[in-house]
Amino acid sequence: MIPTPDLSHLTKDDFEHVYEPAEDTFILLDALEQDAEELRNLKPSFCLEIGSGSGCVSAFIGTILGSSASMFLCTDINPLACRATLKTGTRNKIPLEPVQCSLTAPLLPRLSHSVDVLLFNPPYVPTFREEAEDAQGHRGIQGAWAGGAAGMEVTQHLLDIVQELLSETGRFYLVAVKQNDVPAIRRKMLEVYNLPSEIVIQRQAGREHLFVVKFFRQHITIMK
Amino acid sequence: MVRLITHNLLACHVKGCTRNNFPLLFENVQIEIQESDFNPDFLRNFMPKLEWKALVDAARQLGDTSLPLEQPEMVDEEFLKALHHVLLEIHVMEGAMVCQNCKHVYPISNGIPNMLLAEHEIG
Ligand SMILES: C[S@@+](CC[C@H](N)C(=O)[O-])C[C@H]1O[C@@H](n2cnc3c(N)ncnc32)[C@H](O)[C@@H]1O
Ligand SMILES: [Zn+2]
């Protein structure tokens, strides 16, 4: 058992502005725990979490890998989420490195084909498009869930750069719900970007049917 | 915490700013030294991923001249200790990073770099 990160430094007030870990967070922790051995064997240099919120997930992977074994980069558009992530790192003795930005914008050129573990628990709730756009602009708590059409408007932008980001042995863990159309996401990633995937875990949690999907590079075995 | 390991990864992403947009230059910085665990394996794996000149220049800007201008071929303990300190123990807490090309200013406050752009600046 890998202990769930200590978040006791965050208060009810903090969670007015920063996403409080919930079922979608925990299913991602469960998926990482299940893959712990494999993740350690990868010997990652770069772990990158998009939308780190409280920092819970990155602190957890830091605990799996060891605090000095990799770099733990985090991004979030919400400045209070970045602060919470920094504090959660300190509290759990994992050097989390929050950068306030959308997706990976300032990191993309340098991280091209370098990210070993990419994580995203996105704003996946289907909403009106304007609601998602406003939420992205306001950088507050609504941005934690408002996902626009099919809940995919933010995620979609990331899907288009995953191929560019992943290292040779890199993998990408994505949290999704049924309304996001997981089979369509997987088909697109395979057909357009040649990235196969597998469902690591899926479960019903209250009204949500949650998935963690893992994408990786196709490894072609050369036949003799 | 903007450590030099992070600075080594950040480029200006203002619309149209695609040349000479890396590395960003530090301005009016306040730094703090915080010790961290020394992991030679991590450093060895990380070395080829660094933009070496950008790292050496950034360290010099912050007053640290312990790194050689060229990455050495022989990597010994003493060198790795210096690299560890420069990459992981110098924290920029306040100040800014400025693009050499378009002069866009990215503020750093409480150890967090704000790399967000306004809608019209996004490419
Ligand atoms: C569902 S919450 C997940 C938070 C945390 N990772 C967890 O699992 O508990 C989604 C997070 O993504 C952030 N976010 C939304 N849009 C983003 C974007 N364009 N770039 C980076 N982060 C974003 C939100 O601010 C929020 O912190
Ligand atoms: Zn610029």
Is the beta carbon of A77 within 6 A of some atom in ligand 1?
yes
pLDDT > 80? residue A61: yes
Report pLDDT digits (tens) over A111-146: 999 999 999 999 999 999 999 999 999 999 999 999
Asked if the C-beta of A112 comes within 8 angstroms of chain B's C-beta atoms, the answer is: no
pLDDT > 60? residue A222: no
Report pLDDT digits (tens) over B18-56: 999 999 999 999 999 999 999 999 999 999 999 999 999
Tell me how far apart the alpha carbons of residues A61 and A36 are, in angstroms, rounded to a whole number. 8
User: 0.95 exceeded by the pTM?
Assistant: yes
SS3 of A74, please?
strand
Report pLDDT digits (tens) over A168-183: 999 999 999 999 999 9
SS3 of A214, please?
strand
Domain ranges in chain A are 18-216
Asked if the C-beta of A21 comes within 8 angstroms of chain B's C-beta atoms, the answer is: no
Which positions in chain B touch A116 (Cβ < 8 Å)? none
Give the helix, strand, coil percentages of chain B, each rounded to 5. Answer: 35, 25, 45
* pLDDT given for residue A1 in this prediction: 86
pLDDT > 90? residue B122: no
Is the beta carbon of A52 within 6 A of some atom in ligand 1?
yes
Asked if the C-beta of B8 comes within 8 angstroms of chain A's C-beta atoms, the answer is: yes
Tell me how far apart the alpha carbons of residues B92 and B25 are, in angstroms, rounded to a whole number. 12
Please state the length of chain A.
Answer: 224
* pLDDT given for residue A219 in this prediction: 73
Class of domain A18-216: alpha beta
CB A47 within 8 A of CB A116: yes
Across chain B, mean pLDDT equals: 95
CA nearest B32: which of B76, B89, B81, B70?
Answer: B89
Mutate to test the interface with B, among A90, A104, A110, A167 (most CBs of B within 10 A): A110
Instruction: For residue A100, give the amino acid letter.
Output: Q
> Residue B51 and residue A114: Cβ atoms within 8 Å?
no
- Choosing from A50, A133, A160 the residue with most ligand 1 atoms within 8 A of its CB, the one to mutate for a pocket test is A50
* pLDDT given for residue B119 in this prediction: 78
Q: How many CB atoms lie within 10 A of CB A52?
A: 33
The DSSP output letter for A147 is -
> Residue B116 and residue A101: Cβ atoms within 8 Å?
yes
> Residue A86 and residue B1: Cβ atoms within 8 Å?
yes
- Structure confidence at residue A20 as a pLDDT band (50, 70, 90): very high
Tell me how far apart the alpha carbons of residues A153 and A65 are, in angstroms, rounded to a whole number. 32
- What spatial distance separates the first Cα and last Cα of chain A, rounded to whole Å? 43
SS3 of B97, please?
strand
Asked if the C-beta of B22 comes within 8 angstroms of chain A's C-beta atoms, the answer is: yes
Q: Whose alpha carbon is nearest atom 11 of ligand 1?
A: A51
Instruction: For residue B19, give the amino acid letter.
Output: R
* Biggest CA-to-CA distance, chain B: 48
* pLDDT given for residue A146 in this prediction: 97
Is the beta carbon of A155 within 6 A of some atom in ligand 1?
no
CA of B11 to the centre of ligand 2 (A): 8
CA quadruple A23, A101, A86, B99: dihedral, nearest 10: 170
Q: What is the CATH number of the domain that holds B33?
A: 2.20.25.10
The DSSP output letter for A206 is T
CA distance A1 to chain B (A): 24
By Cβ distance, the residue of B88, B116, B122 closest to A77 is B116
Name the residue range of residue B25's domain: 2-121
> Residue A68 and residue B42: Cβ atoms within 8 Å?
yes
Is the beta carbon of A100 within 6 A of some atom in ligand 1?
no
Residues contacting A155, CB < 8 A, separation 6+ = A120, A122, A124, A147, A174, A176, A180, A185
| Six token digits for residue B66 | 């312990």
- Structure confidence at residue B123 as a pLDDT band (50, 70, 90): low
CB A109 within 8 A of CB A86: no
The mean pLDDT of B116-122, rounded to a whole number, is: 84
* pLDDT given for residue A127 in this prediction: 97
Asked if the C-beta of B1 comes within 8 angstroms of chain A's C-beta atoms, the answer is: yes
Is the beta carbon of A35 within 6 A of some atom in ligand 1?
no
The mean pLDDT of A80-107, rounded to a whole number, is: 97
| Six token digits for residue A30 | 């469960």
Which positions in chain A touch B89 (Cβ < 8 Å)? none
The mean pLDDT of A25-29, rounded to a whole number, is: 98
Complex ipTM value? 0.96
Phi, psi of A3 (to 5 degrees): -65, 140
* pLDDT given for residue B114 in this prediction: 98
Across chain A, mean pLDDT equals: 96
The mean pLDDT of A64-86, rounded to a whole number, is: 98
| Six token digits for residue B87 | 């990459």
Is the beta carbon of A144 within 6 A of some atom in ligand 1?
yes
